[in-house]
Amino acid sequence: MKNKLKVFKTLAWYKELKEEQAKAKMLQAKQVYQSLLAEKEKMIKEKEEDFKDLQTEKVLTAEELKAYLERLEVFFSEKEQLEKKIEAQKRELDLLLEELRQTHQEKRVAEVLRDKTYRLFYEESLKNFYRQMDDLMMLKRGK
């Protein structure tokens, strides 16, 4: 019984470590996701400022208009790439969340097994103690 208790203690400790690793991965992925969203917002603000410059009543030459359209095309392609990265990061975040749930559930199972085994071990030890006390009382009465 004592070996079983040690095994379950070790298992619970291992599952706790796995859960901590999953939490760390989740936190890191969340930070990457937040940075991608911030980068997207920054890109959009920059393009809005660029568009405000275009809205001035200044007459543009064909070359300036062509350059602006090229910048706009680059912006949209970069934005599309960034949105793909954001979507991929969101999927990864969902997978990591599911992994975290699974590891937490496994940890809880290991903890329940450890606690149940500890209670059984304690009850068995208590029974042995009382049995020995009864035997000593019987020996004392028998003299």
**Model's pTM, two decimal places?**
0.72
pLDDT of 63 above 90? no
pLDDT tens figures, 113-129? 999 999 999 999 999 99
Q: Within 10 Å of residue 23's Cβ, how many Cβ atoms?
A: 14
- What is the gyration radius of the CA atoms in the chain, in angstroms? 33
pLDDT of 52 above 80? no
